[in-house]
Amino acid sequence: MRAALILLAALAAAPFLGFGEGYSLTLLARVMILAMAAVSLWLLVGGGGMVSLGHAALLGIGAYAVVVLDDARITDAAVVVPVAMGAAGLFALVTGAVAIRTSGVQFIMITLAFGQMAFFTASSLAAYGGDDGYTLYGRTTVLGQRWLEDRLAFHYLCLGLLALTLFGGHVLLGSRFGRVLRAARENPLRAEAVGFRPYPYQLVAYSIAGAVAGLTGVLLANAAEFVAPSYLAWQRSGDLLFMVILGGLGSLQGAVLGAVAFVLLEEWLGHITEHWRLIFGPLLVLSVLFMKGGLVGMLRRG
Amino acid sequence: MSLGLLLVQGLNGLQFGVLLFLVAAGLTLVFGVMDFINLAHGVQYMLGAYFGASLAAWTGSFWLGLALALPAALVCGLVLEWLVFRHLYERDHLSQVLATFGVILFLNQAVRAIWGSAPLQMPVPALLEGGVTLMPGLQYPVYRIAILAAGLAVAGLLWLLVERTRIGALVRAGATHAPMVAALGVDIRGLFMLVFGFGAMLAGFAGVMAAPILSVDPGMGDTVLILAFVVIVIGGIGSVRGAFIAALLVGVIETLGRSLLPDLLRLVMAASPARQAGAALGSMLVYIAMALILAVRPRGLFPVRG
Amino acid sequence: MAEPLLAVAGLRKRFGGLAVTDDVTFSVAEGGIHAVIGPNGAGKTTLIHQLSGTLRPDAGSIRFGGRELVGMGLARRARLGLARSFQITSVLAGFSALENAALAVQARSGPSFRFFRAAAAERALNDQAMTALEQVGLGARAGVLAGRLSHGEKRQLELAIALAMQPRLLLLDEPLAGAGPEETERLIGILLGLKGTYTILLVEHDMQAVFALADRISVLVYGRVIATDGPEAIRADPAVRAAYLGEDEAA
């Protein structure tokens, strides 16, 4: 966990080390939010062996929960957060119940398909802007206070929740539940032979990851004060999966490293050319072909 | 809602299903034979449409455009196979997904850089202009019927190829016992390339055919890709027959759902919420159908491997 | 007479036209080692799959401790006390030897939908896992990742995992498979040590081991049980000699 702790400390100090102005804080918030999303996806891929290509939909559902409540003028976190987490968790539970019956390539395709379903549904919600998206009236309030309007407060909220997610994931993987989940990932037959049917454990893990993604979606909506169907696009799920693999499946902190590297790379290439994906795509291919074990693996090899 | 509308939308659905089949056939064969999941397959469809549209504009002829786009799509497919995909056959599915995702990012952006983000137009060929009268006062475009016919013809050809030829026998055997086929002295790499190129060309063909009736834009491959995944999951991964039946099913459900549900719901609720709920539900219908089918048959309608 | 611990009756399984398990009937009484032997292709593996729950028989019944097992999955049967070991070693390579065994203890020690407390810190689980490892002589290797153990040690761990389940019946699928002469010697020693405590159904290829260990032996040929008896009687049985030993004199 050392690399992740150093990163968290750096993020905590960043506003006082010359990264305190608007642009930097926006970028850092993006890093932290995506890192949180990547951690929740890591729990599925690295923890449970479930390669989901529909994770962005879960984030999007959390973000759209903010939208729906905002439209009804309900903005307090005491309502927004449980609704967002519940909606995303429920979606994960229902779609997971079907998807987890399959495995391997079918699982990938089915999660992709359900993600696309959520995407099209969001696009068809004319009341919330349809394809054009929805601009929030304001950020989520906490106990009626507009604390999150303050950029620094938002920065530390994101940091705190990222740290909590990372810690929570760590605890989860080490628990009895996590042990069964890891066993089922390594060898489902072995898990069954000692008496654990993987299905319920995987389904609960999928729902937990969904709820965490929903919480992340709340932050995502607040960061931009805007939500659009593109948040649910399958390319975003692909991005998240790339972060997880870029960081490495060897350890949970890989998700954080991967997200940081991903956003910085994207940002840097974006400054070079408008067509940055022309470079990004081949880099992705090369990293898959040649960088086994991800960044965590590289750090370990020294 | 009239019978005429139902007929037209039903035909549209079948025609969309046929296009989906052309894309899904390559995907399911490539997966069946090589155990390779290729997200970039949708890009082949997009490239076909772009090649067709720009070559048709350049030569001034739809038919020349079509004739030139097919080899162009084939070459693109083979270059990708040589450059990227063949290094992934031995890797896990996760790696395959990510690397082919990278290929999509690159090619979608390349298309934007070359042709711009605005949709391209491809005119319907003069020979297939106009419509036929289905019912008094109800015309249906000849071109759409031509797509349906061409798609069915290709499906028939594919069936003959897979079921009745030596290469087809190898493909079927390769799908279930690849190491065995290799041990018998068949050049498995060559077989892979053949299947791959063929699949790429089929998808490209679908792209050209779709170009005059759908908008040719940089994201078009992705939408089709995901529906093609739904098709092969429903059909049973690796099964061409399953892909055919599932493609028609998905095409019809998707088209009818999106066009008829808002009207249907208006029977039971007010117009405005009916339109909204209908649109939302219509776009979910295919995936709900997929979930229901998988709930009963987790391995799809025609599972290939036991 | 009390009902036997395991009673297999009329078990059948066909693959296409081939009857791989053909009306198999035998029973295992509480205590001791009951071995199933048979030449290659006799249907031993198929039988194990049906007993453990990874393959559904076409007909017949498997009663275990008074309950019908047919229709139950592998995990349910494991929880009822039927522990199986695998012929092809399938320990969790990324877990330590101790955690491999602790997982099996955990399966019978209360609910596993517990999300907070570190499982590795649960004394009760670790102590019992350690006992199982010591029973097979792996106590000193508890902290080693299972993937790093030698082949023989993995065979021992495979056994320890089954013991950690505290099963009523141990279903051992060729526990000596792939072991060298020295490892075989050690494993036989371990099995002898377990004999008094556990009821064991041993499916094994190694004749020497079977005759050294088993109290009763069933002989499976072409999917049928041709004889069930004590080792001496089996050795003398002309049908067994003809069908089995005649084919495989080296054994």
Listing DSSP states for B271-293 in one string gives: HHHHHHHHHHHHHHHHHHHHHHH
Instruction: Compare CB distances from A174 to C75, C118, C161 and report the shortest one's residue.
Output: C118
Q: Which of C199, C232, C239 is nearest to C38 (CA)?
A: C239
List of chain A residues whose C-beta atoms are within 8 Å of the C-beta of residue C84: 193
pLDDT in tens, C201-250: 999 888 888 998 999 999 998 889 998 999 999 888 888 888 765 655 44
- What's the Rg (C-alpha) of chain B? 20
pLDDT at A212: 98
Beta-carbon separation of A288 and B280 below 8 A: no
DSSP C147: G
pLDDT at C250: 40
* Cα first-last separation, chain A: 15
Kindly list the residues of chain A whose beta carbon comes within 8 Å of any beta carbon in chain C.
171-172, 174-180, 182-183, 186-187, 189-197, 201, 204
Instruction: Compare CB distances from B298 to A95, A101, A123 and report the shortest one's residue.
Output: A101
List of chain A residues whose C-beta atoms are within 8 Å of the C-beta of residue B105: 235, 277, 280-281, 284
Rounded-to-integer distance, Cα A287 and Cα A293, Å: 10
pLDDT in tens, B269-286: 887 778 878 888 888 899
List of chain C residues whose C-beta atoms are within 8 Å of the C-beta of residue A46: none
| Residue count (chain A) | 302
Instruction: Compare CB distances from A98 to B31, B108, B291 and report the shortest one's residue.
Output: B291
The DSSP element (H or E) to which C155 belongs, if any, is helix C151-164
SS3 C6: strand
Q: Which of B55, B209, B48 is nearest to B124 (CA)?
A: B209
CA distance A209 to chain B (A): 19
If you measure CA to CA, which chain C residue comes closest to A201? C113
CA distance A169 to chain C (A): 10
pLDDT in tens, A153-166: 999 999 999 999 99
Q: What is the mean pLDDT of residues B198-206?
A: 93
Is the pLDDT at A133 greater than 50, yes or no? yes
CA dihedral C146, C149, C153, C155 (to 10 degrees): 50
SS3 A18: coil
Rounded-to-integer distance, Cα B300 and Cα A101, Å: 12
Any A CB within 8 A of C118 CB: yes
CA distance C214 to chain A (A): 24
Beta-carbon separation of A194 and C104 below 8 A: yes
**How many domains does chain A contain in total?**
1
What percent of chain B clears pLDDT 70, i.e. is strictly above it? 95
Rounded-to-integer distance, Cα B287 and Cα C214, Å: 57
- Cα C156 to Cα C163, C185, C189: the distances in Å are 10, 12, 11
User: Average pLDDT over chain B, rounded to whole?
Assistant: 87
Instruction: Find which of C76, C82, C103, C157 to mutate to test the A interface (most A CBs within 10 Å of its CB).
Output: C103
Instruction: Compare CB distances from C103 to A174, A189, A194 and report the shortest one's residue.
Output: A194
List of chain B residues whose C-beta atoms are within 8 Å of the C-beta of residue A102: 294, 298-299
- Cα A182 to Cα A50, A186, A196, C93, C97: the distances in Å are 11, 6, 12, 11, 15
Looking at chain C, which subunits does it touch, using at least 3 CB pairs closer than 8 Å as the criterion? A
Rounded-to-integer distance, Cα B172 and Cα B168, Å: 6
User: ipTM for the complex?
Assistant: 0.91
Q: What is the mean pLDDT of residues A187-210?
A: 96
A239 with A102: CB under 8 angstroms?
A: no
B162 with B141: CB under 8 angstroms?
A: no
DSSP of B184-198, one letter per residue? TT--HHHHHHHHHHH
Residue A252 lies in a domain: no
Rounded-to-integer distance, Cα A234 and Cα A238, Å: 6
DSSP B139: E
CA distance A153 to chain B (A): 35
Q: Is the pTM of this model over 0.95?
A: no
If you measure CA to CA, which chain C residue comes closest to A190? C90
Looking at chain A, which subunits does it touch, using at least 3 CB pairs closer than 8 Å as the criterion? B, C
B65 with B208: CB under 8 angstroms?
A: yes
List of chain A residues whose C-beta atoms are within 8 Å of the C-beta of residue C157: none
- Give me C98's structure tokens: 């101790």
pLDDT in tens, B222-249: 889 999 999 999 998 888 889 999 999 9
If you measure CA to CA, which chain A residue comes closest to B236? A106
pLDDT at B178: 65
Instruction: Compare CB distances from A106 to B84, B222, B237 and report the shortest one's residue.
Output: B237
Instruction: Compare CB distances from A175 to C73, C115, C164 and report the shortest one's residue.
Output: C115
SS3 C17: coil
If you measure CA to CA, which chain A residue comes closest to B223? A116
DSSP of A104-130, one letter per residue? HHHHHHHHHHHHHHHHHHHHT-GGGTG
Beta-carbon separation of A281 and B87 below 8 A: no
Beta-carbon separation of A177 and C78 below 8 A: no
Q: Where are the domains of chain B?
A: 11-218
Instruction: Find which of A101, A170, A171, A194 to mutate to test the C interface (most C CBs within 10 Å of its CB).
Output: A194
- Give me B98's structure tokens: 């990510």
Beta-carbon separation of A117 and B37 below 8 A: no
Q: What is the mean pLDDT of residues A74-90?
A: 96
Any B CB within 8 A of A273 CB: no
Beta-carbon separation of B94 and A45 below 8 A: yes
Instruction: Compare CB distances from A179 to C78, C91, C106 and report the shortest one's residue.
Output: C106
DSSP of C184-206, one letter per residue? HHHHHHHHHHHTTT-EEEEE-S-
Rounded-to-integer distance, Cα C194 and Cα B203, Å: 63
Rounded-to-integer distance, Cα C31 and Cα C199, Å: 4
- Describe the crossing of helices A151-174 and A176-186 by its angle, rounded to 10 degrees: 70
List of chain A residues whose C-beta atoms are within 8 Å of the C-beta of residue C124: none
If you measure CA to CA, which chain A residue comes closest to B233? A106
Any A CB within 8 A of C84 CB: yes
Is the pLDDT at A231 greater than 80, yes or no? yes
List of chain B residues whose C-beta atoms are within 8 Å of the C-beta of residue A104: 93
Instruction: Compare CB distances from B294 to A110, A125, A281 and report the shortest one's residue.
Output: A110
What's the longest Cα–Cα distance across chain B? 67
User: Average pLDDT over chain A, rounded to whole?
Assistant: 93
pLDDT at C251: 40
pLDDT at C1: 52
DSSP of A241-270, one letter per residue? HHHHHHH-TTSTHHHHHHHHHHHHHHHHHH
Rounded-to-integer distance, Cα C43 and Cα C221, Å: 8
pLDDT at B63: 92
Residue A110 lies in a domain: yes
CA distance B106 to chain A (A): 5
Is the pLDDT at B306 greater than 50, yes or no? no
Give the residue with greater pLDDT, B260 vs A118: A118
Give the residue numbers spanning the domain of A189.
Answer: 24-234
Is the pLDDT at A260 greater than 80, yes or no? yes
Is the pLDDT at A199 greater than 90, yes or no? yes
If you measure CA to CA, which chain A residue comes closest to C110? A176
User: Which residues of chain C fall short of a pLDDT of 50?
Assistant: 249-251
Sequence-ordered list of residues with C-beta below 8 angstroms from that of C165, at least 6 positions apart, any chain? A194, A195, C78, C81, C83, C104, C105, C107, C108
Give the residue with greater pLDDT, A227 vs B296: A227
C47 with C36: CB under 8 angstroms?
A: yes
